[in-house]
Amino acid sequence: MKCPFCSHLETQVVETRLSEDGDVIRRRRQCGACDKRFTTYERPDVSFPAIVKKDGRRIDYRRGKILESMNLALRKRPVSTEQIDAAIERIEEKILNLGVREVASSRLGELVMRELKKLDKVAYVRFASVYRSFEDLDDFKNLVDEVRR
């Protein structure tokens, strides 16, 4: 494994941990040249369905895009990286369990909103306000009222 700091090719595994559900292996590594530490993750390489956008375009599923969206909604909120990773794992599991070759982006967005609602109500409202592109304040008020219940 190449060091991300100095590009040295010799790194040593210092610690290995299995995730709670056993799907991911987390390894702490240390570079043999600069002694800096970094983390790598091993997960199975699975073929995800294509995402069908509202305009009909088909794009490849990208975990990073969901992570960016969730991080933006969760900015300055008290939610750990581990909780976010677990939420994304649940979303991916649901997508794979659908057993289809294509998933509508709206379905994916709903799955993200459901996970954000469990993690943090403020993040859920942030994401939903952008995702659902409200036309007026009444739509936004209805969403906030829904969260309060």
Return the percentage of the chain with pLDDT > 70, whole number: 99
Q: Which residues have a Cβ under 8 Å from the Cβ of 13 and sit 6 or more positions away?
A: 27, 28, 29
| Amino acid 22: pLDDT | 81
56 residue type, one letter: G
- From the list 112, 110, 78, 91, the residue with the least C-alpha distance to 48 is 91
Domain ranges in the chain? 1-44, 46-138
Tokens 């610690």 locate to: 15
- Measure the CA–CA gap between 134 and 56, rounded to whole angstroms: 22
- pLDDT tens-place string over residues 20-40: 778 789 999 999 999 999 999
- pLDDT tens-place string over residues 38-54: 999 898 877 899 999 99
The arithmetic mean of pLDDT across residues 76-82, rounded, is 93
The arithmetic mean of pLDDT across residues 122-126, rounded, is 89
- Kindly report each contact of residues 122-125 with a partner whose C-beta sits within 8 Å and lies 24 or more positions away, as own/partner: 122/77, 123/70, 123/73, 123/74, 123/77, 123/79, 124/73
